[in-house]
Chain A
């Protein structure tokens, strides 16, 4: 299937005992130390004044890392914006492995270690491309597209997150991008997932 314009994955915090603000110096350090060698990290944007939204962004050229509180659910959102690859599978692989790498970096960061934990047994996946992946329920074509995307995600994610993993389309507003919820009760840990994706160390 066609590569979406952008693709994002949000993993949720199981524990978070620091304020959003604590991520500002951490993200600045990540830029300085170039901790994601295959991405160009640019700057930190501070939106913590917004209620229940993206609070702190590590803005990059290929992707943004966001400490995100949308719907009151804190998580680490990874938004892949450039170089997604040739098709949806590629885009999903890249996005997942980079997002999981972000999870790992966050959990093991010297300043954050022990103060937070992210869970891998669920995630929200968003296809930010209203042209190729419209989120309309009424139009026949787009329903087909959504269903195909869902089947595609289900197959890929079950292979990674365990056979009991399910992917369901989120019944959100048609103006929102096409969104899927991953539930994976027997998801392996981050390292296993990364090594399955072929990007672990």
Chain B
């Protein structure tokens, strides 16, 4: 046992590019530790690796009596504006389309107990989150995940977020075709793509197989794809109806149709053109208006479409646009077992209850999808590897996370259902009620989110317990309702698209603040999040269970035959709806109901003092700053290689760092420079060297010459001396790149 780390152990298991990216991130951490990186650049860098801030990381916490300083070591060391280095944070792990294999589950479980608190949380965008993670642990965590093909890249920050896709794609009874391989190709194409690095805000894509079901939720996404088949020249062609500019948040927007039909060949160039338009014209200064929905609203969808079409014409051809089509015929899911039927097996009442809500009969006869109903989207490390074994036994790799914070096992051979149920129950994952009123969605809220106002998870836990206790006696019309809860107006819990939604806010009573939830009624989950609910008023957090009873009872009493909850709310109108909750809006004084002044699961007297600056928007920094930072980190890595007596590697890294810096500079003028070293050097030479823009007042072209020389005359056998010299030169070259960029202007650095 020595100083061997995960990096050494996993070298052969990690894809080379992922491994290198993680090394770069580790280098950037090191530079940040030495105060050599701008705090905003580092914040955005880590966000783009999924390394998020968490509540109290500004070092302040209200203990119910007063706000107190948390005495972390090295209080002056930070990992972003107002964010202490040593404060634990959240790690978001990207899971495209929610697809997980048992091997991946095994590793996720292991990193959760070694680096987090042993709990995995499934999010409303099919991601996985771990909490209370120390930043020093993140590179090794990423390596272990990379070794099983998982990247955290662009999980947060102003980037293309996880690409979601219906969890039923491929087995669904109503889909047009399986959108999964398309969503995967889309995710791969955009991951780290040059044209998605300069957004003012995050960008969330979603894919759906059909129009009427909910699963894909395309209407509430920045860009959404609905599978379509169209006859072109007598042949059936696959493609998508494309939506743009949807989104929840404070002001929810329904997406607009960008294109009625985009063929599969055009899917990738189209999104590339959208990305360029968004990067160029999207708001950067005011992050509250920076999502693409605001750009679409400002320009109007017709003008936006025109700009995208213009942009499309100017795109340099990329083979990858259509290369993925060749892989589509090979795409198939392999069931682990042959199809069978559920005939004659003894079924317990418990099993039947579970069967009714948690089993979906696939399009393919003899198979079903089983939903593992996770309370609040959580499962423990132990449950995770136990679940991985259950998956191995019944379905192999056919596991997906869902946007309702559950996990599904697909391709369960029907006669296995009773034994699968017993196996799930044995690991504490046999809860019935998936997709019903007890299966409540909640964002992290005040538990861990810096922006949380009220305890969305506390409330969800309480409602789940109460509703489960009486679920047997609930009429079907109530059972099928959806409850979704966000801790604040940002809507991470998707409350706008549930029947009964809540988001946290606060009201004052006397000298005290009282946690509240705004009640939002009648949103539509089906039709891909077809319409948003109506905010009817805010009630104290502690009254919400009673409020739910009042609303659901009245619905049962008054509904016409077959009338949906949405229709009923539409019929009674906002005034009537508000009338239902009015009695709860009279606030008691502290002395009358002290309990009202603390939140669910949190006995501290309620305060807003813990709200910090959220990192949902990421930091807006120039494209150049983001791209020069890996160059610096590589030069740093080169020094380490030299210390380790590896001059060849040091030489290669120093050269590569110069190329990265030159590329960053060239891209301030010419986005399409690509990755070829020859091209980068040529563009650098003609644009910056020959024009003398790169020249230093005294040293003239000396620093630029370093790159040109190394490019032209690589040293076949670098020794320590020559590598050392090249590193020195690389550092000077990078410095000169900075100087040139600020002289020429490049992109304007936007302060937030």
A interface residue numbers (CB < 8 A to B):
1-2, 5-6, 21, 24-25, 28, 31-32, 40, 42-54, 57, 59, 61, 64, 70, 81-82, 128-132, 145, 173, 175-177
Say whether B376 faces chain A, with CB atoms less than 8 Å apart. yes
Instruction: Tell me the bound Cα distance from A121 to B64 in angstroms.
Output: 38
Instruction: Tell me the bound Cα distance from A128 to B117 in angstroms.
Output: 12
Q: Please determine whether B428 and A57 come into contact, CB atoms closer than 8 angstroms.
A: no
User: Known contacts A32-B65, A49-B378; is A40 also within 8 Å of B114 by CB?
Assistant: no
Say whether B1 faces chain A, with CB atoms less than 8 Å apart. yes
Residues of A within 8 A of B55 (CB): 43
Instruction: Tell me the bound Cα distance from A51 to B134 in angstroms.
Output: 27
What 12 additional pairs, Cβ within 8 angstroms, besides A46-B461, A49-B464, A176-B385?
A24-B601, A25-B603, A40-B72, A46-B447, A46-B458, A47-B378, A49-B378, A50-B375, A50-B378, A50-B379, A54-B118, A128-B114
In the complex, residue of chain A having the shortest beta-carbon distance to the beta carbon of B136: A82
Instruction: Tell me the bound Cα distance from A25 to B113 in angstroms.
Output: 25
Residues of A within 8 A of B6 (CB): 131
Instruction: Tell me the bound Cα distance from A1 to B375 in angstroms.
Output: 40
Q: List 20 A-B contacts (CB under 8 A).
A: A21-B601, A28-B63, A28-B604, A32-B63, A43-B55, A43-B61, A44-B602, A46-B447, A46-B458, A47-B378, A48-B461, A49-B375, A49-B376, A49-B465, A51-B428, A52-B428, A53-B118, A59-B88, A61-B86, A175-B109
Q: Please determine whether A6 and B114 come into contact, CB atoms closer than 8 angstroms.
A: yes
Residues of A within 8 A of B56 (CB): 42-43
Residues of B within 8 A of A2 (CB): 1
One of B114, B383, B465 near A129 (C-beta < 8 A) = B114
Residues of A within 8 A of B1 (CB): 1-2, 132, 145
CB of A143, distance to nearest CB on chain B (Å): 14
Q: Please determine whether A47 and B119 come into contact, CB atoms closer than 8 angstroms.
A: yes
CB of A133, distance to nearest CB on chain B (Å): 9
Q: Please determine whether A32 and B64 come into contact, CB atoms closer than 8 angstroms.
A: yes
Residues of A within 8 A of B61 (CB): 31, 42-43
Say whether B70 faces chain A, with CB atoms less than 8 Å apart. yes
CB of B574, distance to nearest CB on chain A (Å): 33
Q: Please determine whether B9 and A131 come into contact, CB atoms closer than 8 angstroms.
A: yes
Determine the interface band of chain B, counting residues with CB < 8 A from chain A.
35 or more
Q: Annotate B111-150 by CB proximity to A: 1 below 8 A, 0 otherwise.
A: 0011001110000000000011010000000000000000
Residues of A within 8 A of B118 (CB): 53-54
In the complex, residue of chain B having the shortest beta-carbon distance to the beta carbon of A41: B70
Residues of A within 8 A of B480 (CB): none
Say whether B167 faces chain A, with CB atoms less than 8 Å apart. no
CB of B134, distance to nearest CB on chain A (Å): 7
Say whether B106 faces chain A, with CB atoms less than 8 Å apart. yes
B interface residue numbers (CB < 8 A to A):
1, 4-6, 9, 55-56, 61, 63-65, 68, 70-72, 86, 88, 106, 109-110, 113-114, 117-119, 131-132, 134, 375-376, 378-380, 382-383, 385, 428, 447, 457-458, 461, 464-465, 601-604
User: Known contacts A53-B383, A54-B119, A54-B380; is A40 also within 8 Å of B113 by CB?
Assistant: no
User: Known contacts A48-B461, A50-B375, A53-B382; is A28 also within 8 Å of B119 by CB?
Assistant: no
User: Known contacts A47-B378, A49-B464; is A40 also within 8 Å of B428 by CB?
Assistant: no
Instruction: Tell me the bound Cα distance from A51 to B429 in angstroms.
Output: 8
Residues of A within 8 A of B86 (CB): 61
CB of B251, distance to nearest CB on chain A (Å): 32
CB of B749, distance to nearest CB on chain A (Å): 34
CB of A15, distance to nearest CB on chain B (Å): 24
Q: Please determine whether A54 and B117 come into contact, CB atoms closer than 8 angstroms.
A: yes
Q: Please determine whether B71 and A130 come into contact, CB atoms closer than 8 angstroms.
A: no
Q: Please determine whether A40 and B70 come into contact, CB atoms closer than 8 angstroms.
A: yes
One of A5, A40, A175, A177 near B106 (C-beta < 8 A) = A175
Q: Please determine whether B461 and A45 come into contact, CB atoms closer than 8 angstroms.
A: no
Residues of B within 8 A of A53 (CB): 118-119, 380, 382-383, 428
CB of B389, distance to nearest CB on chain A (Å): 9
CB of B494, distance to nearest CB on chain A (Å): 19
User: Known contacts A42-B61, A46-B461, A175-B106; is A28 also within 8 Å of B603 by CB?
Assistant: yes
In the complex, residue of chain A having the shortest beta-carbon distance to the beta carbon of B375: A49
Instruction: Tell me the bound Cα distance from A21 to B462 in angstroms.
Output: 12
In the complex, residue of chain B having the shortest beta-carbon distance to the beta carbon of A130: B110
Residues of B within 8 A of A82 (CB): 134
Instruction: Tell me the bound Cα distance from A40 to B61 in angstroms.
Output: 12
